[in-house]
Structure 1
Amino acid sequence: MTMDHRLTSEHEELRRTVEEFAHDVVAPKIGDLYERHEFPYEIIREMGRMGLFGLPIPEEYGGMGGDYLALGIALEELARVDSSVAITLEAGVSLGAMPIFRFGTQEQKTQWLPRLCAGEALGAFGLTEPDGGSDAGGTRTTAVREGDEWVINGSKCFITNSGTDITALVTVTAVTGRHPETGKPLISSIIVPSGTPGFTVAAPYSKVGWNSSDTRELSFSDVRVPAANLLGEEGRGYAQFLRILDEGRVAISALATGLAQGCVDESLKYARERHAFGKPIGANQAIQFKIADMETRAHMSRVGWYDAASRLVNGEPFKKQAAIAKLYSSTVAVDNARDATQIHGGYGFMNEYPVARMWRDSKILEIGEGTSEVQRMLIARELGMQA
């Protein structure tokens, strides 16, 4: 297979536009918001006006009619400056809008997608549970059909974009029955609008990083929603979300690549400006080699997510490539953040420098949307190795 990952003129124009936005709008504001743990509403509104939340959604639903490569490009450029803003976009599109676009009825798409694409509303993805972790198939949240309603009980944790002032819905996985032959739980996906009685959103978590993104625990106590809020086929919710997670891993890989490249950007700047022993520290070969290694890692990380995104866009199998990209890029992000902090010395430990924020934000990339261990398991399985 011949691979050409050079960007088209349209994709390159998008990249430059988001790069300029990230440096001119996000960078001057996000540090202060981050330290105060505030959600960047003004920045998100501007991103909505730019069409970023509708990049891979068709124009008929209010989107930009682009593709997943376009979304990844935007995520990478944003994450070069800040990951809280980038993850808000990633989760809003990959986990909020895409399940409805992929599996929703025409009525559901018409009802929800225009506002989600405009950035006027955010959707969330209610999969992880307090006792579940990586075992998404061990869902304990239940939904029982009573007449024309689903009655939902249970809880979810670590849910991004679930409690902002503009959060409109959470798509929740719940057990809706048992397989008649195997007795295994049938997991379905159900749309729960914000503000539904019995649906409680906890206070924001106190997190190590991503401090300007919204992450909360959710609880459902006899939450009643219309039967029409079922997303896709009953009993197919787990399979649907596996597809959504595969796509999301491509997006997270793009975000991780952006963080890794941002560490290179900041390290180059600092190495030129910081003088020690009468010369810029960048004149020292030890610093040069460290930054060269960082750039190499970021470059190869980009090649990985471009490959996975290209396969996705072309309708080819991409599960293995998405897992490889996510595994490698998240490792690279952590490695580059550590090295960038080391290059900055004591200043790298000060929150006024972006690399301190990048260091705090990097670790979650090895955990969220499938841990590194899960990625290795998926890669091995795709190679035909079974437990």
Structure 2
Amino acid sequence: MNSMYFTEEHNLFRKSLQDFLKKEVVPNIETWEKTGKIDRFIWKKFGDMGFFGINYPEAYGGLNLDLFYTIILQEELQKINSGGFAAAIWAHVYLAMTHLNAEGDEDIKQKYLVPSIAGDKIGCLCITEPSGGSDVAGMRTTAIKEGDYYVVNGSKTFITNGIYSDYLVVAAKTSPELGNKGMSIFVVDRDTVGISATKLDKLGWRASDTAEIAFDNVKIPASNLLGEENQGFAYIMQHFSLERLVMGVNAHARAEYALEYALNYMSERTTFGKALDTYQALRHKFVDLYADMEICKEYNYSVTNRLNKGEYVVKEATISKLKSTKMADEVIYECMQFLGGYGYMEEYPMARLLRDSRLGPIGGGTSEILREILSKMIIDKKEYKPAT
């Protein structure tokens, strides 16, 4: 492991996490992949082990560790070959909980963040809409203030943990006439009257519950506002750094897993009396793929290091997601080819890996949207600044 970024404590944490996943998670993966529902007990076990609180304050039950512990968690989750399970975990920890910690007041943190870290509550983040996709600024969901309440109307889609979560972190327009400058963020209890959810059937990420959610005159207390009114877009942009970096790390980790599996298979599989890993054409293809993975991994570690120091790395994290997810798709596609017909069989990992990986260039902002964002930053010299 790269000693520039990982200490002995990091390595010990990785080993304990690997042991935990092997014992508690791996035996259940096939069931969760088939049912599309992750058993509730595992959330509590993650909480008891402290995995949900890795980079959250000790005052709320967290461990306040550096971001490389987060990287380890993401990497190891990818190597149990269930993109859906991994997504459910990181959508809770690094999407919903990020907003609670950064924008929530003390009451909100006690009510939602503390039980989230403990594994007693599950959260989801509701930004994407049926009509808008990656166009966050084009959001139509509204939250209009009426006395001590906001009334929310609209819909969200492709929401990970959208069925079984206990609360929702919701973005809505509080001042629609201001466009993206009129957006706010709220935390909403799942059982609030007027919320309904429909489960979506997906190509991959089968273990996770993904939903379309409707809000029909949903009344939420004004105290459930996260941060300041009309500052939601700035908050979302600020946290995109971590979300996109996480997706970049996920991508290099699943590519690494695919390469490790393929190499082991190639060393054991023989044709015409020779192991597959002795054929020059396959050897050269493999090392090209390995090099692409290593380049992305090292870049992602570098961005993590900068984010860990508090730097504003929206551009770099966007590059991470754009290039790493593309790389992972290409690596896994070729690794399936290395396995030949067996790569196409469900009992081998490549079929699921291929399905799960394909969401990488789509979710959390499509590659096309990311290229346009980067074009504005690199070519047009547009500057995005942290929320104040």
TM-score range, shorter chain: over 0.9
- Match of residue 300 from structure 2: 305
Cα distance in 2 between the residues matched to 1:294 and 1:31:
28
- Match of residue 169 from structure 2: 171
The normalised TM-score by structure 1 is 0.93
Q: Identity over the aligned pairs, expressed in percent?
A: 35
Q: Secondary structure at the match of 2:211?
A: strand
Counterpart amino acid of 2:128? T
The normalised TM-score by structure 2 is 0.92
- Match of residue 377 from structure 1: 372
1:208-287 to 2 correspondences below 5 Å: 208-287=203-282
Cα distance in 1 between the residues matched to 2:79 and 2:3:
23
Structure 1 residue 273, shift from structure 2 partner: 2.3
Structure 1 residue 59, shift from structure 2 partner: 1.0
Counterpart amino acid of 1:197? V
Structure 1 residue 29, shift from structure 2 partner: 3.1
Q: 1:18 to 1:184 in 2, by over 3 A?
A: closer
- Match of residue 194 from structure 2: 198
Cα distance in 2 between the residues matched to 1:317 and 1:171:
23
Structure 1 residue 324, shift from structure 2 partner: 1.2
Coordinate RMSD, CA, aligned: 2.0
Structure 1 residue 16, shift from structure 2 partner: 2.3
Structure 1 residue 185, shift from structure 2 partner: 5.9
Structure 1 residue 283, shift from structure 2 partner: 2.1
The Cα offsets for residues 27-65 of structure 1, whole Å up to 9 and x where unpaired, read as 343134313433254444432222111111011111121
- Residue 15 of structure 2 corresponds to residue 16 of structure 1: yes
- Match of residue 61 from structure 1: 60
Structure 1 residue 380, shift from structure 2 partner: 2.6
- Match of residue 103 from structure 1: 103
Name whichever of 76-85 and 221-230 sits farther off.
76-85
Q: 1:300 to 1:42 in 2, by over 3 A?
A: farther
Cα distance in 1 between the residues matched to 2:17 and 2:263:
21
Cα distance in 2 between the residues matched to 1:367 and 1:190:
25
The answer on whether the counterparts of 2:123 and 2:168 sit within 8 Å (CA) in structure 1 is yes
Q: Secondary structure at the match of 1:366?
A: coil
- Match of residue 48 from structure 1: 47
Name whichever of 290-299 and 168-177 sits farther off.
290-299
The answer on whether the counterparts of 1:304 and 1:324 sit within 8 Å (CA) in structure 2 is no
Cα distance in 2 between the residues matched to 1:118 and 1:177:
35
Name whichever of 48-57 and 224-233 sits farther off.
48-57
The Cα offsets for residues 336-363 of structure 1, whole Å up to 9 and x where unpaired, read as 1101111111111111111111001011
Structure 1 residue 223, shift from structure 2 partner: 0.6
Q: Which runs of 5 or more structure 2 residues have no equivalent in the other structure? A: 383-388
Cα distance in 2 between the residues matched to 1:36 and 1:66:
34
The answer on whether the counterparts of 1:5 and 1:303 sit within 8 Å (CA) in structure 2 is no
Name whichever of 170-179 and 12-21 sits farther off.
12-21
Name whichever of 284-293 and 210-219 sits farther off.
284-293
Structure 1 residue 293, shift from structure 2 partner: 2.2
Counterpart amino acid of 1:51? G
The answer on whether the counterparts of 1:257 and 1:333 sit within 8 Å (CA) in structure 2 is yes
Structure 1 residue 111, shift from structure 2 partner: 1.3
The answer on whether the counterparts of 2:6 and 2:68 sit within 8 Å (CA) in structure 1 is no
- Match of residue 362 from structure 1: 357
The answer on whether the counterparts of 2:155 and 2:212 sit within 8 Å (CA) in structure 1 is yes
Cα distance in 2 between the residues matched to 1:70 and 1:114:
20
Cα distance in 2 between the residues matched to 1:300 and 1:21:
29
Structure 1 residue 184, shift from structure 2 partner: 6.6
Q: Which runs of 5 or more structure 1 residues have no equivalent in the other structure? A: none
Q: 1:130 to 1:186 in 2, by over 3 A?
A: same
Cα distance in 1 between the residues matched to 2:379 and 2:53:
37
Cα distance in 1 between the residues matched to 2:146 and 2:311:
41
Cα distance in 1 between the residues matched to 2:225 and 2:219:
12
Q: 1:271 to 1:183 in 2, by over 3 A?
A: closer
The Cα offsets for residues 53-95 of structure 1, whole Å up to 9 and x where unpaired, read as 1111011111121133321221111102222222122111111
The answer on whether the counterparts of 2:105 and 2:227 sit within 8 Å (CA) in structure 1 is yes
Cα distance in 1 between the residues matched to 2:153 and 2:6:
46
Q: 1:123 to 1:138 in 2, by over 3 A?
A: same
